[in-house]
Structure 1
Amino acid sequence: MTEHIVWHPTVISKEDRRLLNGHKSFVLWFTGLSGSGKSTLANEVDRKLHALGVRSYVLDGDNIRHGLNRGLGFSKEDRIENIRRIGEVSKLFVDSGQIVLTAFISPFREDRERVRALFEPGEFIEVWVQCPLEVCEKRDVKGLYRKARKGEIREFTGISSPYETPLSPELVIDTSESGVVDSAERVIEYLQNRRLI
């Protein structure tokens, strides 16, 4: 089937779009346990980028499962497919000259590395939102850990399914030690120091 599909080149390049936007385009890949603060942090960074006049967009794990990935469950295979799709969507955002912030547990190193391979060097910035399991469980905003401990949710990351910590993330943010505003400021400083924005 794919032998009949031919890539059609675009007239406007990624560099053209970056020039128009006045900044680089890349993905900030926020990974960490449920309750670590990925979505909260990604949205605060997005707010700060918007205030700076930077074009950005947040792809949130739960939100994506309401649409694009609605038919996927939480088996290992479905989790792999979930992250594969998000990687491809993120690449489209980067090609469009925008910054995309993804907030997904993305528990498996191999999946994150597969997504990284889709991008040119420097376009994939892995942000490990580090937070001890016990702190995530205390937060348990959605009540998921409680359900997982009761056996109501199978294959739950950190309880009955592993989370493989990043080996060399570009950034590590410990949300058990710093608040969301300070954490977001660290991300912005990282981007500014590397002249990405």
Structure 2
Amino acid sequence: MSSTVPKSSNIFWHDCPVGKTDRQKLLKQKGCVVWITGLSGSGKSTLACTLGRELHTRGKLAYVLDGDNLRHGLNKDLGFKAEDRAENIRRVGEVAKLFADAGLVCIASLISPYRRDRESCRALLSDSSFIEVFLNMSLELCEARDPKGLYKLARAGKIKGKVCMMLGV
């Protein structure tokens, strides 16, 4: 995704008197990002929501950023070409950083197939604040679950190219 609007050179960071440490003390927790990745149908959203519920039960403030949900709003202008996928991950990484800076446990659940995109998100935070979880489920299990019907479409030849590669078919 490219923009025809030139980047502004007169934008400056504005520090506020209440910082990350202040927010963490108030919430009595350290903000971080738990980045869950894996094939479509591997259980990313299920794990993210279960983790979010468990943290809530334990009195911890968490928020789930689900890749599909974000494509209904923040990322609805993006497609699935490599550059759009990279921008999708970049935007989610920036939002996740804001949540972590606010002192929340941010649980990001996205396919995020490219290591370089995940590493860019990791670079936004200190390493101890970014936890990457890869759900290493078999292709057979993911295809059997197929909640979006993507594997069926790929097998029928209706999805081609890199999408099939990312699905593993």
Q: TM-score, normalised by structure 1?
A: 0.79
Which of 151, 159, 165 matches 1:160?
165
2:25 aligns to what? Answer: 19
Runs of 5+ unmatched residues, structure 1 = 164-197
2:73 aligns to what? Answer: 67
- Tell me which moved more, 1-10 or 147-156: 147-156
Runs of 5+ unmatched residues, structure 2 = 1-6
2:74 aligns to what SS in structure 1?
coil
Equivalent residue runs for 1:114-129 within 5 Å: 114-129=120-135
2:39 aligns to what? Answer: 33
**How far does residue 130 in structure 1 lie from its aligned partner after superposition?**
1.1
> Number of residue pairs matched?
162
1:122 aligns to what SS in structure 2?
helix
**How far does residue 2 in structure 1 lie from its aligned partner after superposition?**
3.0
Q: Distance in 2 between matches of 1:96 and 1:113?
A: 21
1:47 aligns with 2:57: no
Q: TM-score, normalised by structure 2?
A: 0.91
Identity %: 52
1:3 aligns to what SS in structure 2?
coil
**How far does residue 161 in structure 1 lie from its aligned partner after superposition?**
3.7
Cα RMSD for the two superposed structures: 1.4
**How far does residue 91 in structure 1 lie from its aligned partner after superposition?**
0.5
* Inter-CA distance 105–155: structure 2 relative to 1 (3 Å threshold): farther
2:36 aligns to what SS in structure 1?
strand
Runs of 4+ aligned structure 1 residues displaced above 4 Å come to: none
Cα contact 1:148–1:156 (8 A) shared by 2: no
Cα contact 2:39–2:167 (8 A) shared by 1: no
1:169 aligns to what? Answer: none
**How far does residue 150 in structure 1 lie from its aligned partner after superposition?**
1.7
Q: Distance in 2 between matches of 1:82 and 1:30?
A: 15
Q: Distance in 2 between matches of 1:117 and 1:28?
A: 14
- Tell me which moved more, 125-134 or 146-155: 146-155
1:187 aligns to what? Answer: none
